[in-house]
Structure formats: C-alpha cells, structure tokens
Structure 1
Amino acid sequence: MAAPMELFCWAGGWGLPSVDPDCLAVLTYARFTGAPLRVHKVTNPWRSPSGCLPALKTKEEGVLSQMHQIITHLRKQQYNADSDLSARQGADTLAFVSLLEEKLLPVLIHTFWVDTKNYVEHTRKWYAEAIPFPLNFFLPNRMHKQHLERLQLIWGESCLEDEEELEKEMYREAQECLTLLSQRLGDQKFFFGDSPASLDAFVFSHLGPLLKAKLPNGKLQQHLKSLQNLCDFCSSILSLYFPWDGGDAPSSAPKTSASEGTESEEEPYKRRKQILSVLVGLAAMIGYAFLSGIVSIQRGPPGAAGPRPIALEEEEEEEEEE
C-alpha cells in the first residue's frame, strides 16, 4: 500500500480542528472526500517542510504550500468533492468562492489581526501561548506583519487615504456576503443538497473561526450568530466530520482510522524533536535580536562592569500534536 500523503497544518483550538482558515479548508475537504492523509498538527510553522502552513508532502509533486494547490492535487488523486455537481453548480461554486475571497476574507483578516482589541486580547494571546518558547516571542508579531501586508495588497492604496470609511464599507459588504450565503443555503444541509462539496469546505473554513472564537470586539460575529442556518451548518460539519477533533478532544476519545490518520510520534523521537526545536528557535531569536539592533555588544575599558544579562520572560510551551 502506498504511503499516505502528509499534511502539515496549524493545531486546533476554539473548538475547531485548526484555527487557520486555509488549514481548516484542506482538512474539511479531505474529510469530505476520504483522502488518506497523515496529519501533523503543529504550532510551529518551521516544522513544516516548506516553512509555512498548510503544506502537503506528496510523492508526485513534492511539497505543496498553497491551499488551492493542495485541493487541486487531491482532485487529481481522484478525491473530488465536486464530481457529482452539474455545470451550473460548478459555476456557482466559482462565483461564491470569489465572493468569499473578495468580500469576507479581508474583513476576517481585519477582525483577527488588525482590530487592536481582538488582536491583543485574543489572536496574539492564543498564538503566543500555543507556539513553543522561544519562538512565541517573535513569530506572532511576524505573522501580524504578514497579515497587514496581505490586507494592504487586497485594499490597495485607498486604505491609506480614509481607513475609517473604508473599514465601514468593508464590514457592510461582509455582512451582505453572510446574508447572501444564508439565503443561498436556505434550509438545506449543504449548499448543493445532502452531500458536501468544495464550496461547503470553503464556507466552513471562513465561518468556523468567526463563529467559535471568543472575540472581545465581535461586530461581524454577532451578525453571523443572527443567521441561524449558517450557525447550524457549521455545527453540523463539526459534529459529522470532526466529532472529537475540535482542539479540546477528550483523552479517552478513539482516534479515527479511516481517511485521515493523525500522527502520534514515539516518545523518544518526539522529545528529541522538541529539544532541537527549542535550540533552533533560541538561536534564531538571538540572531534576530542582534540583526534588528535589539541587542548589541559594546566594548568598554578594562575593569568596566560587564553587560547586564537580558531577562526573558518564559511562557509555557504547549505543542499540540495528535
């Protein structure tokens, strides 16, 4: 039997199998299709073969690091959630995916990574606690910068002219997008009937984090919660396809052995990898501190007091890997 494909993705939290929308889309699509994946749920993107998450390690195409590339590869391997869709439904899928990326995704980035209250009290707090020491000192800030740059690319130069007015317009359009999704779903179980398709995976990956996160500033979240059929849609996918894979799984819960097996490393190798990860992270942090000018070495006259040690506050390391 051929070795299963290996998927590296962000670990779960907030009652979700992964906190990252792209990782969540791939995981959900794989569950829908029964794709045989060996899943590595990590809280350190440097453990991925590509250095970013999600990443799919394949025999045919090497390592794939884009969500759409990964799903395309799964389709080539005959794991196609859209095989039974009509041409009209296929066109609707493309239209709604484009709507999600244009109208909803920018506001999700703003909600989690730009809104100061949400970022400080929720997003950064979660990643700082989840990412192992010492990487948790600078990786969340680097991710924050990357999301800001991504949002500026989406919004263009207009975001610098009247940011407050643009923000209001974007949130209004995101609410309209959610309302349109609710109307399209209606009282159906999935968007195209009783069987899930790729559109269901994409919608769930965008709505799941917004619905489940405990955001201190949740104006878009409140609108989503007012649309009961979308809330039921997310709850149904979690209960059907991730019954004990929501980031807070009970220790006695049996592990899935069908389409998606999660990796359980042997303890000696796991401990060795954790130690190496800490050492590499510490070296990277020290190098980053010197390169950025945070720390410098100054030579003084003989007999002068040596440099005082820098005190680093160590946070608890929590590496979730199933």
Structure 2
Amino acid sequence: MKFIGVPVRVRESNNPFFTPKGQLPVMRDGRKVLTNFEEVVEHLKSLHYSTDVHLNTMRTAEASAFTQYLQDKLYPAYQFAWWVDEKNYSELTRPIYAKALRIPFNFYYPSKYQKAAKDMIDALYGEHTDLREIEKTIYSEAEKCLKTLSDRLGESEYFFGNRPSSFDATVFAYLAPLVKAPFPNATLSNYLKGIANLSRFVARINQKNFRHVTDEYNRQNAKKHSTGTQSEREAANFPNQTRNKILAAIFAALAMTGYAIANGMFQDLKDFEHSGDYNEMFENEEDDN
C-alpha cells in the first residue's frame, strides 16, 4: 500500500479475538474483510491499484516462483527463530506479546502461535527429530535462500527493476523483522546482516516508506535512555518486575475466562460478530468515509 499510495487508515489493535482467524493485521474495505497478503493484493487489483503493472509475463512467473521458494525455505526458519527456539521465545517473543496483548489473551495467543509453529516444524522434519539437528538443517536451507535472493537482487534497487513490486513487499516482510529484532539467539539474523545488499534493501524501504516509524522509535528510545522514568523501567522489565502486582488480577481474569468458555459466552460473542447488530456498529463510520 505504501509503494503505490493506497489511501488507508491504520488502527492499532491489541485484541485479535474478534478477527476471523485470531490474527492481526486485518484489512477492512466497507464490508469486505481481508486476512492475508494474497487477498489484499487481489482486492487492490480489483480497485485498479497494483504494484505489478510493470512486470511482463516472464517476470510475473519468476516472482511467483521466488515467492514459493521463500515460503518453502525461509518461512520455516522465520517461524523457528520466533517461536520454536526456546531462548528467543522465552526472552523476546513471549514477553513482547505478553506486553502488547490484553489480559487474558496475552496468555493464550503466544502459546497458540507457538504450538502452530511447532506443529509445522514437526510436520516438515518429524515429531521426534532432535531439535538441534532441525535447527542446523532449517537455518542451512534459509541461508541458501538468502544467498539466492542476494544474487537475484545484485546492485539493483528492487528485484525487478527500479520500481517496487508485490514481491519486494513480501521480501521486506520477511527480512525487516529479522534485521530489527534483538534475538538472543541471532544465528539467522546475523547471517542476514552480513549480506550487504539485502541489508541495504531493508534500510532503503524503511527510509522511503516508514521513515516516520523509524524516527518515532528512535525518539522514544532516546527519551527512555535519557529520562529513565519509573514507568518506562517497569515496561522494559515486563513481565518480571510487575508480576507480583498483577498476579491477583491475572488469576481473576483467567478464572472469569474459564467460566466464560465453560458457559459458551465466547461463542455468543463470535455469533454476535457475524450478526446484523455487529455490522451496524460500523454504519456511522462508513457514512463518514
């Protein structure tokens, strides 16, 4: 959307419960709800927004083949780094989600996403395979994939000429978190950072399309280090430092959640989401648009 200037309003949310698949982000255009990248691309094309108009048939086929290659070789390693590696999960991924999501969903969704990632790895490599062997294999395949991407990009600004395509957006979505996230076990991200043209590719898109995000992050980070207020120190140490303060509230929330599940209240909410009453909640907003 940034590449082609689609007018879009971003609403930050920390509650994926009412989303169709229990995941964020979700895009809504009127009554049409889109939950994955492919759906968004196709919907934008139907509205005559496309990043790929400059691609001929051969390049379109090449982009499609490379996208599948990323899905097969890089995505499993990406999931492994975020969710299956125990050090990364316990020290980075879970605390981030626990801080961002609402109680009690911050206890449910990280475990759900981790289980999905582990199930995928088990399906690919065997449930009883040694995890260290899986890590070695999965990162080796990912490194080959990154090397192939680097060779394809060369010294070009984008993968298919001087204009970005949906494939560039896909690659950026894979690489940017690996470059930016402070993984305790940084095997894959360190390898990526050592590939100069891919690192420049991420930095270039950040500067051109997400400069305000980077500037805001740097401003907040500088403020945190200069002032070091009590609330910021507590947030930085979440969840360890504040655990005792919210323990009672957590158990109360979990107890109420268990009661709600047992009595079918969540299903009632899901049914409400698909009802006319739920849709009417957006009527005024759509009239404004």
Q: Does 1:248 align with 2:217?
A: yes
- CA offsets 1:128-168 (integer angstroms, 9 cap, x no match): 11113343233322222233234334x16x24344433332
Q: Does 1:41 align with 2:41?
A: no
Whether the 8 Å contact between 2:103 and 2:253 is mirrored in structure 1 is no
**2: CA distance between counterparts of 1:231 and 1:282?**
44
**1: CA distance between counterparts of 2:129 and 2:186?**
25
**1: CA distance between counterparts of 2:28 and 2:51?**
21
Whether the 8 Å contact between 1:103 and 1:177 is mirrored in structure 2 is yes
Structure 1 equivalent of residue 103 of structure 2: 133
**2: CA distance between counterparts of 1:39 and 1:282?**
33
Query: What secondary structure is seen at the aligned counterpart in 1 of 2:9?
Result: strand
Q: Does 1:236 align with 2:171?
A: no
The one-letter code of the counterpart of 1:45 is: P
Runs of 5+ unmatched residues, structure 2: 221-249, 263-289
Query: What secondary structure is seen at the aligned counterpart in 2 of 1:244?
Result: helix
The one-letter code of the counterpart of 1:286 is: A
> Which of 241, 249, 255 is the matching residue for 1:286?
255
> Superposed, which structure 2 residues align to 1:73-88 within 5 Å?
73-88=43-58
> Superposed, which structure 2 residues align to 1:203-222 within 5 Å?
203-222=171-190
> Superposed, which structure 2 residues align to 1:1-322 within 5 Å?
30-46=1-17, 48=19, 51-59=22-30, 62-153=32-123, 155=124, 158-246=126-214, 248=217, 250=219, 285-289=254-258
Whether the 8 Å contact between 2:27 and 2:33 is mirrored in structure 1 is yes
Offset at 1:36? 1.6
**2: CA distance between counterparts of 1:235 and 1:115?**
26
Runs of 5+ unmatched residues, structure 1: 1-29, 252-280, 294-322
The one-letter code of the counterpart of 2:164 is: P
Offset at 1:86? 1.3
Query: What secondary structure is seen at the aligned counterpart in 2 of 1:57?
Result: strand
Scaled by the length of structure 2, the TM-score of the pair is 0.73
Structure of greater relative contact order (alpha carbons < 8 Å, 6+ residues apart): 1
The 3 A distance-change label for structure 1 pair 113 and 49 is closer
Offset at 1:71? 1.6
Offset at 1:169? 1.6
Whether the 8 Å contact between 1:56 and 1:65 is mirrored in structure 2 is yes
The 3 A distance-change label for structure 1 pair 230 and 150 is same
The one-letter code of the counterpart of 1:169 is: T
Q: How many residues align?
A: 232
**2: CA distance between counterparts of 1:174 and 1:151?**
14
Offset at 1:208? 0.5
**1: CA distance between counterparts of 2:173 and 2:104?**
29
RMSD, matched Cα: 2.6
Structure 2 equivalent of residue 18 of structure 1: none
**1: CA distance between counterparts of 2:37 and 2:191?**
27
Query: What secondary structure is seen at the aligned counterpart in 2 of 1:235?
Result: helix
**2: CA distance between counterparts of 1:43 and 1:189?**
35
Richer in strand (by share): 1
Structure 1 equivalent of residue 237 of structure 2: none
Q: Percent of counterpart pairs with the same letter? A: 35
Structure 1 equivalent of residue 267 of structure 2: none
